[in-house]
Amino acid sequence: MGRIYLSVPHMGASEERYVRDAFASNWLSSVGPHLDAFEQAFAKRVGRPAVALASGTAAIHLGLRLLGVGPGDEVLVSDLTFVASVNPIRYLGATPVFVDSDPGTWMMSPELLAEALEDRAARGRLVRAVVVVHLYGQCADLEPILQTCRRHGVPVLEDAAEALGATYRGRPAGSFGDVAAFSFNGNKIVTTTGGGMLVASRPGWVEKARYWATQAREPGAAYQHVEMGHNYRLSNVLAAIGRGQLEVLDERVQQRRAVAARYREAFEELSGLTPMPEAAYGLHTHWLSCFLVDEDELGASRDDVLAALAADDIEARPLWKPMHLQPLYASCERYGGEVAADLFERGLCLPSSSSLPIADQRRIVEIVRRVGRRRAVAARGDAMPAAVVA
């Protein structure tokens, strides 16, 4: 039996044709018709102008730059996230300050964010931006977060790298913040092998980001530079893949949701394994199927489950390790307690590919069930002699 991965690329019918077209046209670099078409299709999907970039991290970097983040600034950011939400804050010479999760959504707590913004203001600190991260295919509770940020006059970057296709109160993830970043890394819900997209509430911002992303070269034949730029543009070949992937996005969302539903159903009678909460405010794509393990209830720890799956060549993972627990960011200030840390201790992501065969999923379910049962049997075994003596 082959290895089962956490999340693998899943191509549709058109990607290869578009790539072949890119080769035939010889538009193989950072300019070309597929780039334009990919950006246009994406902008239509999210409802905001878009610029295609080399990665989601690049999109966060340029997004923060658009918001004016620079040396000496502070940026409030979700504690429970992938490190790429935070590194670009440092690229710009600013300081991240972490906000703990709400146990009901796993994402940034609106109450703690309000507390943080008030406290920073009281201490005369300049919070230049808030990075709110949408985790595992679901939006954070945006309404109270945006309200608080508006009250304080602080702009918002949505890190929607994991949330393409998700909605909040009927609108797409990424259409709420001043800017938003998406990722097409190989493990995301759709992929360009690697890539990202930045969307902005103002068309001029997207133009500015496109200029920065192409080394900030001034118009004209001479290599004239006024501002510092980056080499962050996506190639026309990869945009061709992205076009095809966007065509099957809704199908991929349905397939990931079906994977999650099958897990939920299979684990229903298994106490001690709780799925990630699904909020009533929007569509959860279930990019990854995540669960919390209650060791006493399940009769096995999170790490027991991970070990059993690994022994069978199945890739499963803990949730993101909170940023305040990273040696890289250990000295940063934070608001909240141990919600993110507890989620990290007890949470796991199971294989969630949209192409995951049902037989493979059965194999995963069987192993998880067996781990729980094994401990229960062992515990009963230990209790037997005492019962006999009595």
Ligand X SMILES: *Cc1c(COP(=O)(O)O)cnc(C)c1O
Which tokens sit at 197? 């997209």
Contact assessment for residue 166 and residue 139, using Cβ atoms and an 8 Å cutoff: yes
Q: Among residues 133, 164, 246, 253, which is the contact residue for ligand X, using CB under 6 A?
A: 133
Q: Based on CB atoms, which residue is closest to ligand X, 176 or 267? A: 176
Q: Does residue 56 bind ligand X (CB under 6 A)?
A: yes
Contact assessment for residue 160 and residue 182, using Cβ atoms and an 8 Å cutoff: yes
Q: Based on CB atoms, which residue is closest to ligand X, 55 or 361? A: 55
**Please, what is the minimum distance in Å from the beta carbon of residue 246 to ligand X?**
16
**Please, what is the minimum distance in Å from the beta carbon of residue 181 to ligand X?**
7
Please list every residue from 163 through 222 that binds ligand X, using CB under 6 A: 183, 185, 196
Q: How far apart are CA 156 and CA 110, in angstroms?
A: 13
Q: Based on CB atoms, which residue is closest to ligand X, 14 or 87? A: 87
Inter-axis angle of helices 33-46 and 15-25, to 10 degrees?
A: 140
Q: Based on CB atoms, which residue is closest to ligand X, 85 or 138? A: 85
Q: Does residue 105 bind ligand X (CB under 6 A)?
A: no
Which tokens sit at 118? 């008030």
Strand intervals (E) in 124-228? 127-133, 156-159, 167-168, 171-172, 179-183, 196-200
**Please, what is the minimum distance in Å from the beta carbon of residue 357 to ligand X?**
25
**Please, what is the minimum distance in Å from the beta carbon of residue 226 to ligand X?**
27
Q: Based on CB atoms, which residue is closest to ligand X, 5 or 373? A: 5
**Please, what is the minimum distance in Å from the beta carbon of residue 245 to ligand X?**
14
Q: Does residue 94 bind ligand X (CB under 6 A)?
A: no
Which ranges of 99-235 does DSSP label H, i.e. alpha helix?
A: 110-122, 142-152, 203-213
Q: How far apart are CA 378 and CA 230, in angstroms?
A: 59
Contact assessment for residue 275 and residue 289, using Cβ atoms and an 8 Å cutoff: yes
Q: Among residues 161, 309, 319, 341, which is the contact residue for ligand X, using CB under 6 A?
A: 161
Binding site for ligand X (CB under 6 A): 55-57, 81-82, 84-85, 133, 159, 161-162, 183, 185, 196
